[in-house]
Structure 1
Amino acid sequence: MVLALVAAGLGLLARRRTAYGMAGLAAFGLVGAAAALSRPDAGAAHVLPSLAGAAAGAYALSRLWRRATRSDEDEYVTASRAADRASYRAVEVQSRTPAQPAGEAGPAGSPVSPVSPVSPAKPAVMRAGTVSPGPVSPGPVSPAPAPSSAPFSARPAEPYAFDRRRLLNGVAAGVVVAGAGGLGGWLLSGRKNGELARRGVAKILPRAARPAAPIPAGADLRISGLTPFVTPNADFYRVDTALVVPTVDPARWTLKIHGLVDRPVELTFADLLKRPLTEADVTLTCVSNEVGGSYAGNARWLGARLADVLRDAGIRREADMLLSVSEDGWTCGTPVDVVMDGRDALLAVAMNGEVLPEEHGFPVRQVVPGLYGYVSATKWVTEIRVTRFDRDEAYWTPRGWAAKGPIKTQSRIDLPRGGDKVRAGRTTVAGVAWAQHRGIDAVEVRVDGAGWQQAKLADVTGPDTWRQWSAEVDLTPGRHTVSVRATDATGYTQTADEAPPAPDGATGYHSITVTAR
């Protein structure tokens, strides 16, 4: 938005004098080049994108300016030609009408002395499309003057005018070219480099020192329309603040751990892979997820245990917060006691048997069971500052969200979907429920506010994942409301009280309305 406003300002300056606009573009190019050279790994080639951008801006400005001024030239030429045509018509009219001597006005039809045809003086251009003939004097007829050949800069001053359609066409073409160029550059450079790096990591990715137990056959009820137990990487939800997914070179990646520690640590990616890696099935959930929403997914993660890394650094007793920082500057505040209580909190490097996808945090991200993602799941993590909640704030806390975000017990109906038409009689209702690091012990459904009915639960690998469920209900013809609730392993049953996601997660029963026929 800032660049768009600056570009508009430069365009207005260029209307006064083109050099002003060009100077502004040159200044921006130099600022960009200076910023690029300020990076530690910068070389001479790093200034080229800024200089090329400034050159492209100058070219676009000159083209748009020529379009605007050409329209004004066309206006002047059109007016000149109109004046010339009017001059010819005046000559023709005067040559056909006898002139009367000065002071003599005979009656119609009376004889008059013949005179020679007259030649009008050159008409003066008053404004586009308007002429004022000069005085008529006797004399031989002279041909009308040729269209003006005076240079454009010598024309009389006229109101600024331009063809908006031509100008907008030029702007649109420039936007398309710039967008295509930017997209092409991003696809050809960043994504290609990132994919090559991921392939390189795939060749050296070690096996888990602590592999997860095999997923039981009964973990997936295999009902059509029901969310699968394992979410494919391509379907896993994504919520982050990155406008452009960071491309991080694992060969240059480091994780700095400092703050309230006895021994600050800086790990390279190779150092991390040398540590014993743990495999764990963990369901992640976003705090912005509405009741019944889709911002939840389950995957098998591989990574180093975060608690072990913190112990190596010598975390101090007064510390209660881990302020992790992403490659793009985003920050996250994680409670220390949660990470250190024995759960599988990981610095993950793989997801569902593959190297982490770029959009999910390659090369390294945090995964902490039992906490909403905004306080636990930092992608592209590069720094962890061991600190205290009364000293530091993470990205979302000053924006109105809670400093700590334990996941609330929730359940969701996946089928039938709200608004569906189903057959009257026996109908299958199914979905998923989650209460990470506590586990789900029971799920119940009800129809039209009647009594609660126990649902069948699928198997799970542990307390950190969601759990599939299904139930058979009887629906008579007509509209019905179906609701679901879950009870976790601590004995807590989710509340019916409805609350929005802010500040610490939505609550309430997920209900759908269907029509039975």
Structure 2
Amino acid sequence: MKTQTADRPVTGKPPKLWYGELAGLAATALALGVGELVAAATGGPSAPLVAVGGVAVDAAPTAVKEFAVTVFYTYDKLALQAGIVLVLAAFAAFIGVLAMRRLPYGLAGVAMFGAIGVLASATRAGATWAYPLPSVAGALTAAGLLVLLHRTLPRPAASPAQAVGDSEGPGLDVAAHEATAPGQGANAPSPYTRVPAVDGTRSRRRFLVLAAGSIGAAMVAVPGGRRLWAQRVAAARAAVVLPPPSSPAAPLPARVSAGVPGVAPFVTRNADFYRIDTALTVPQMEPKDWQLRIHGRVKQPLTLTYEQLLARPMVERHITLSCVSNEVGGELVGNARWLGVLIRELLEEAGPEEGADQVVSRSVDGYTAGTPTAALRDGRDALLAVGMNGEPLPVEHGFPVRMVVPGLYGYVSATKWLTELELTRFSDFSAYWVRRDYAALAPVKTQSRIDTPTAGKRLESGLVMVAGVAWAQQRGVSAVEVRVDDGPWQQAQLAAVPSVDTWRQWSWTWQATPGKHRLQVRATDDTGQVQTEQVHEPLPDGATGWHTIKVTVT
């Protein structure tokens, strides 16, 4: 007759389902926490959640990406992370249930989870031997915790009908029965007496403490690991002293503001500037580790450090940037004062070869954008920006260095966390969004927006100020018109601007009468081209149409 041991799985009644679900969630949470800490220690963007999430972002169809931006706007990354966590939680609960019932099956699930993380991190841009380490450490941690939880798992009571000789019976003290000599009286264990091998209450308490403690540790480790690395970069950013510009921005005209409450300010605060990119979490890079390679179809490849870039003549300009995903009337547009080095001067030093009609910019996380070489050499103020509104670039907006090119949508020109410029040809390489059905050439379209009154607002009859912004970078805005209920177009008053590369505020006084009304706006650029009425979605090269709102006047 065999004696049951603590390491042998019990196959009487299976443990309650929630034990396994809790075990899986605890093990996975702790794995993510350990992964974040190891990623922070190794200094790479290789935490399991980030690595797998990055692959998910890259693999998502264009329609899904557009849906996320449309629905969640600048919170699309947060929504994606929440979705990944929910999927991961379901998978974690499943492998936890497996592990509590058949430990090898659960460990196989953990191994699969670790393999996915290793593969995802190893295939990220710039991956080194250290990139898979967080996923490996996380998987080993999860496996170890599952083994401990399995050994601590409260054992369910066996069926009374189960025989003493059944080696699978839980809680049966077979050894005690066999060691008892015949004739010891009533105190001798009966062949049918069952003595619990483990105190159920004490075992349950140990299980819950271990699982809850692991989840608590993970709740500290996940944000803690990210914060450790982010604090290093924040400290490095705070130590940066930007050089004064050799070509300062032109002073803002006295009438740069329309003076109407509710209109977006001429200069967008850094904290309010929109952020749309493919990075699941903000890449963290210290200036001492930053380098820019200019290579490809050039006569003289260049490599610059951050110090060398700051030592070059600096240009400061007010430039409006807009996202191709911006819907008509949307908020994915902003204006800032940028400081940086002219890209055309760097390209002149590198010497583009004949036929190199595209400059591919690469981010530290592997994102690519393809900018027409001609647009970077035609005299516009295309910058490798290091400053934004008088301070070093915010980390979420590309610190240490990003591109800023007036007149082009961001997906072909505004690469953040820049590390590389490669001269090539459009026929040889398609950048990230071009491979996802967006146009290779993307000049900004003339747009206008009503900021006040807001759609659906109830107004009192009488004089109402209608105002907003319009933009047509590299061409400029020469006129803005407003109409009510398909009536005649009325000329709006334009505020002043320092250049054609910024948006322009406008205002119009409306004598509002009671009833429901529809307001529309359109702009005309300096070439005389009127903003088109034709409605078109952002894909493939920017939305079109007139911004239209409805209000009620009482």
Give TM class, smaller chain: 0.7 to 0.9
Aligned with 1:307: secondary structure? helix
Choose which of 488, 508, 511 in structure 2 pairs with 1:451. 488
Partner residue, 1:496: 533
Partner residue, 1:302: 339
Aligned residue pairs total 443
Deviation readout 1:24-59 (Å, 9 max, x if unpaired): 7589879989989x989989xx99855653453134
Task: Note the C-alpha offset of 1:319.
Answer: 1.1
Pairing of 1:15-414 with structure 2 (within 5 A) = 17-18=102-103, 21=106, 49=134, 52-66=137-151, 69-70=153-154, 73-76=155-158, 148-150=193-195, 177-187=217-227, 189-201=228-240, 203=241, 205-414=242-451
Deviation readout 1:374-410 (Å, 9 max, x if unpaired): 0000000101110111110000011111111100000
Deviates more, 1:215-224 or 1:498-507: 215-224
Asked which structure has the greater RCO (Cα within 8 Å, sep 6+), the reply is 2
Task: Note the C-alpha offset of 1:74.
Answer: 3.3
Q: Distance in 2 between matches of 1:500 and 1:467?
A: 23
Query: Which residue identity does 1:56 align to in structure 2?
Result: T
Q: Distance in 2 between matches of 1:49 and 1:55?
A: 10
Deviation readout 1:451-508 (Å, 9 max, x if unpaired): 0000010110100000000000121111100000000001000011100000000000
Q: Provide the TM-score with structure 1 as the length reference.
A: 0.77
Task: Note the C-alpha offset of 1:265.
Answer: 0.7
Query: Which residue identity does 2:193 align to in structure 1?
Result: S
Task: Note the C-alpha offset of 1:260.
Answer: 1.1
Distance 1:236 1:172, change over 3 A: farther
Task: Note the C-alpha offset of 1:252.
Answer: 1.6
Q: Which has the larger radius of gyration?
A: 1
Aligned: 1:505 with 2:550: no
Q: Provide the TM-score with structure 2 as the length reference.
A: 0.72
Kept in 2, the 8 Å contact 1:479–1:515? The answer is yes
Consecutive unaligned residues of structure 2, counting only runs of 5 or more, are: 1-48, 53-86, 171-185, 199-203
Tell me how large the CA RMSD over aligned residues is: 3.7
Pairing of 1:397-476 with structure 2 (within 5 A) = 397-476=434-513
Deviation readout 1:125-161 (Å, 9 max, x if unpaired): xx99xxxxxxxxxxxxx899788345659xxxxxxxx
Kept in 1, the 8 Å contact 2:260–2:465? The answer is no
Distance 1:290 1:58, change over 3 A: same
Deviation readout 1:262-310 (Å, 9 max, x if unpaired): 0011111111111101001100000000000000000000000000000
Q: Distance in 1 between matches of 2:232 and 2:350?
A: 33
Kept in 1, the 8 Å contact 2:463–2:512? The answer is yes
Deviates more, 1:170-179 or 1:302-311: 170-179
Q: Distance in 2 between matches of 1:208 and 1:416?
A: 39
Q: Distance in 1 between matches of 2:194 and 2:92?
A: 36
Aligned with 1:74: secondary structure? coil
Task: Note the C-alpha offset of 1:371.
Answer: 0.2
Distance 1:15 1:403, change over 3 A: same
Aligned with 1:219: secondary structure? coil
Task: Note the C-alpha offset of 1:181.
Answer: 1.5
Kept in 2, the 8 Å contact 1:222–1:228? The answer is no
Distance 1:30 1:443, change over 3 A: closer
Deviation readout 1:233-284 (Å, 9 max, x if unpaired): 0000000010111111111211101111100111111111111010011000
Kept in 1, the 8 Å contact 2:237–2:286? The answer is no
Aligned with 1:218: secondary structure? coil
Query: Which residue identity does 1:507 align to in structure 2?
Result: T
Task: Note the C-alpha offset of 1:209.
Answer: 0.6
Distance 1:500 1:176, change over 3 A: farther
Consecutive unaligned residues of structure 1, counting only runs of 5 or more, are: 84-121, 129-141, 154-163
Distance 1:419 1:20, change over 3 A: closer
Distance 1:190 1:222, change over 3 A: farther
Aligned with 1:62: secondary structure? helix
Structure 1 vs Structure 2: percent identity of aligned residues? 51
Kept in 2, the 8 Å contact 1:424–1:476? The answer is yes
Task: Note the C-alpha offset of 1:174.
Answer: 5.0
Q: Distance in 2 between matches of 1:270 and 1:195?
A: 17
Q: Distance in 1 between matches of 2:265 and 2:544?
A: 23
Distance 1:338 1:60, change over 3 A: same
Q: Distance in 1 between matches of 2:474 and 2:151?
A: 66
Partner residue, 2:522: 485
Kept in 2, the 8 Å contact 1:443–1:454? The answer is yes
Q: Distance in 2 between matches of 1:489 and 1:33?
A: 54
Query: Which residue identity does 1:369 align to in structure 2?
Result: P
Task: Note the C-alpha offset of 1:22.
Answer: 5.0
Distance 1:30 1:389, change over 3 A: closer
Normalized per residue, the structure richer in strand is 1
Q: Distance in 2 between matches of 1:40 and 1:294?
A: 35
Kept in 2, the 8 Å contact 1:411–1:433? The answer is yes
Q: Distance in 1 between matches of 2:279 and 2:299?
A: 33
Distance 1:246 1:510, change over 3 A: same
Q: Distance in 1 between matches of 2:210 and 2:488?
A: 67
Kept in 2, the 8 Å contact 1:324–1:333? The answer is yes
Task: Note the C-alpha offset of 1:18.
Answer: 3.0
Task: Note the C-alpha offset of 1:173.
Answer: 7.2
Deviates more, 1:7-16 or 1:422-431: 7-16
Q: Distance in 2 between matches of 1:392 and 1:167?
A: 55
Q: Distance in 1 between matches of 2:446 and 2:210?
A: 56
Aligned with 2:225: secondary structure? helix
